[in-house]
Chain A
């Protein structure tokens, strides 16, 4: 099956710093990538939809200036959490689709902001 990787898998940073998370589709070209956030015991919440070469579409309530998304190629999307605060601590998961109905999820990145 299709493989999506995320890096890093776990990161701890200090409040006020920025963190970049990479999402790569390893064996297919991802026409669309999605970024989700999941708080403990809650479901995945879609943050934004990213298409290669165009600006990401953010869900209501998600600050685009705080969560910067770059989808520079068909195999790579990045999410940068700027000026991170403890309330940004969460599990961030990306997924990618090749245009079919199935999403392929990355293994997630656990962010802890101290």
Chain B
């Protein structure tokens, strides 16, 4: 079983829509959770960390559910510039191992 699983999408949404992605992880000992964004042929960039209490950064909200072992990312009021692949990343072993999901592709259309 993969460490981290994501729906590959693509999610095709109109501008202004709200879209949500989920990601499940297999190891209950996982310690830290992140969402990264990767544009085509570019390196991943940190979007936000995910805390148990949930966290919000502008139009982006991340949630962690340890009991069900999943994390989520909600994007409100989608912009064309949000089009990218969103990678769920899970860490264990005190930051010595990061596991990436396969990514969820988002296409925001005018």
Interface residues of A (CB under 8 A from B): 32, 34, 36, 42-46, 49, 91, 93, 95, 97, 99-103, 105-108, 110
Q: List 9 A-B contacts (CB under 8 A).
A: A42-B102, A43-B87, A44-B44, A44-B87, A46-B99, A91-B41, A101-B49, A107-B42, A108-B42
Residues of A within 8 A of B101 (CB): 43
Q: How many A-B residue pairs have CB under 8 A?
A: 45
B26 to chain A, nearest CB (A): 15
- The answer, yes or no, to whether B98 is at the interface (CB within 8 Å) is yes
Contact across chains for A105 and B98 when beta carbons are under 8 A apart: no
Chain A proximity of B6: nearest CB distance (Å):
8
Which range contains the number of B residues in contact with the other chain? Answer: 20 to 34
Smallest beta-carbon distance B10→chain A, Å: 11
Asked if A49 and B95 sit within 8 Å, CB to CB, the answer is no
Q: Cβ of A34 and Cβ of B98 under 8 Å apart?
A: yes
Q: Does B96 have its Cβ within 8 Å of any Cβ on chain A?
A: yes
Instruction: Name B88-106 residues within 8 Å CB distance of A.
Output: 91, 95-103
